[in-house]
């Protein structure tokens, strides 16, 4: 088992080395911008509420918000604590034996602040793929571009080196599962929410007359 995890760690290092070979000013700025948009899942929360308040895409918006909630409970509150994997920049201090597997000095690029949470799975990636999976289920028009953005988001987390590549793979899987769970929940939840919002908007229209 140790050999397997050492192989994964070696793979993660090779990805970081490749990232370092393609880094430039434009990519640095672009990837930092993308990864910042995913902080606290903000861009997907906004997207969810925007869609929720449109009749045509209300179900898709609700699915996005439920997916993000499920992801928060499963990934951030359970999986990260369960695996307790140190971030790349904390590996030497947390587990010198694992760090020795790399056989070379690792230098964090300091493109973004250092998160204090554990590394696996990537929360940004899990949020992005949870939202994208739920959205794609209900609307290809919104789901496909969101899925593409989610993939870029995942790559940005590796690029700025706050996550290993395998963290992002884990985030993709966790996010997709949370998105599908949200789809099932929304089947039961949507009629109540839809009716409630219709009543709310009807009252608002009356009060504005």
For the cut 80, the answer to whether the pLDDT of residue 4 exceeds it is no
> Are 123 and 172 a contacting pair, CB within 8 Å?
no
Task: Give the closest residue to 88 by CA, choosing from 72, 117, 108.
Answer: 108
CA 16 from chain center: how many Å?
Answer: 19
Considering 115-119, 158-162, 192-196, the range whose residues carry the highest mean pLDDT is 158-162
Q: What is the mean pLDDT of residues 34-61?
A: 93
Q: How far apart are CA 91 and CA 85, in angstroms?
A: 9
For the cut 60, the answer to whether the pLDDT of residue 1 exceeds it is no
Q: How far apart are CA 90 and CA 104, in angstroms?
A: 15
Query: To the nearest whole number, what is the mean pLDDT of the chain?
Result: 89
Kindly give the residue spans of alpha helices, DSSP state H, lying in 23-164: 25-37, 42-52, 58-71, 80-83, 91-94, 96-102, 123-138, 140-159
**Which class for 70: exposed (0-12), middle (13-18), buried (19 or more C-beta within 10 A)?**
buried
Which structure tokens are listed for 65? Answer: 């918000």
Q: What is the mean pLDDT of residues 64-73?
A: 95
Q: How far apart are CA 65 and CA 84, in angstroms?
A: 26
Give residue 102's pLDDT band: very low, low, confident or very high (50, 70, 90). low
pTM: 0.90
Give φ, ψ of 95 to 5 degrees: -150, 80
For the chain, the domains span 51-202
In the block, residue with structure tokens 């039961």: 188
**Which class for 60: exposed (0-12), middle (13-18), buried (19 or more C-beta within 10 A)?**
buried
| pLDDT, position 207 | 73
């Amino acid at each position: 088992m140790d050999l397997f995890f050492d192989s994964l760690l070696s793979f993660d290092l090779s990805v970081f080395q490749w990232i370092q070979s393609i880094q430039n000013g434009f990519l640095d700025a672009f990837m930092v911008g993308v990864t910042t948009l995913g902080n606290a899942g903000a861009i997907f929360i906004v997207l969810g509420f925007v869609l929720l308040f449109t009749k045509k895409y209300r179900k898709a918006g609700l699915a996005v918000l439920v997916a993000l909630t499920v992801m928060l409970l499963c990934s951030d509150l359970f999986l990260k604590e369960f695996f307790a994997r140190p971030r790349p920049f904390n590996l030497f201090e947390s587990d010198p034996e694992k760090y020795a597997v790399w056989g070379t000095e690792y230098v964090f690029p300091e493109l973004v602040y250092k998160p204090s949470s554990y590394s696996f799975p990537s929360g940004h990636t899990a949020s992005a793929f949870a939202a994208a999976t739920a959205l794609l289920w209900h609307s290809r028009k919104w789901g496909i571009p969101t899925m593409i953005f989610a993939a870029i988001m995942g790559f940005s987390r590796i690029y700025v080196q706050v996550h290993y590549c395998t963290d992002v793979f884990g985030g993709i899987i966790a996010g997709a599962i949370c998105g599908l769970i949200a789809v099932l929940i929304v089947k039961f939840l949507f009629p109540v929410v839809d009716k409630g919002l219709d009543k709310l908007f009807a009252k608002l229209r009356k009060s504005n007359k």
